[in-house]
Structure 1
Amino acid sequence: MTVGRFGAWPLAVAVGLAVLAGCSTETPGQPLPGETTSAGSADASPPPRSTSTAGGGESLEGVDPCGLFTDSIKARLGITGSGTPNSAPSSEACRWKVDKGTVADSYTIGVVVFPKLGLDEVVSTGEKTPVQVADRRAIQSLRAAGSVCAISVEVTATSRVDVQITGDDATALCPKALEAAELIEPALP
């Protein structure tokens, strides 16, 4: 395989974006922006966890993936700048670039909300490893031929939120994906 002067990074980003796009049935609804303060900046604390159990579980409908990374979470993860939202038929996503000074060390981190797809519907190119995120079931998996590490956190049996990191060595980035999943978990319904 011939790699251009920019290395494999553009290919890894393209593969990561394809993974974030997802594929399945269309999910109705519109993402809602996070609450803002009077100065217009996003609230620094995640929204409280819902306690509603009507209909047999919590709903991810309307959860804004860009709002799950608060300013303090972004600072802790080394994220600068705003997230880029992306909608797909089965999900809502938001991604951020993390610049570590070199292309080889930099990566993209994304949050993907799947209101109608549970842990049983995680698609991976390798083994699905059970992990725990707070008191929730979760799965760690590699995707896109090993260029993406994902932590899929169960919200209900039929819904989940993924934290996905795309980079040159996705396996080495799995601990960072797990950390990010643990940081957003309190904001999940």
Structure 2
Amino acid sequence: MSKSIFLLRHGQTVFNAQQRLQGHCNSSLTDLGQQQATTIGLSLKNKLANKRQWTIYSSPLGRAMQTAAIVAEQIGIDSDKIVQDIRLQEFCLGDWEKAYIPDLKAQQPRLCEQRDWYLMAPNAESYYGVKDRIEDFLADVSVPENIIIISHGLTGAVFRGVYAGMTYSEVFSQDLPQDAYFLLANDKISRIQCDIYSEMTLAV
């Protein structure tokens, strides 16, 4: 694959902080989530030799678009140029959307023993459904060579898995950070950690 892709998850949301599942529903970024988005935006700004060569793609879900707008502002890219792509949105979590994770654990004490427990939700979108839309995105010749993608925790893990040819278990053994992002280039994945205070200091 010849594309260079920076892939990140949206910042922390109100539902994340409340330990509630989101899926296709939405909640706004917390103050921390906005800081995380700003920090990653500053980090990206320092890594891009020419911002004009890069296009921002985002899941159309509100939390991703809110993150994308903050990232675009830090880099100096017009937020009107953000491309919304439904293929990048999060798994639908069916009947568990808006549910509190502690409540689900209380009802099913062994639920979280498996890393893919989210997909056990009644009427949840299947792994293969999401895998298909990521494969379609990566094969899409209309997508530019240099892109910054704002997606979600689970979909981002599947994206990295498809890119690197991971097995199902490898996909769900990955972490889902909101304080780091990934460079996918030359068939390799590099994790870039972001520290809020060091990035802010560099920006001053």
Question: Do these two structures clear the TM 0.5 threshold for a shared fold by scoring above it?
Answer: no
With a CA cutoff of 8 Å and minimum separation of 6, indicate the structure with the bigger relative contact order.
2
State the TM-score, normalizing by the size of structure 1.
0.29
More strand as a share of residues? 1
State the TM-score, normalizing by the size of structure 2.
0.27
More helix as a share of residues? 2
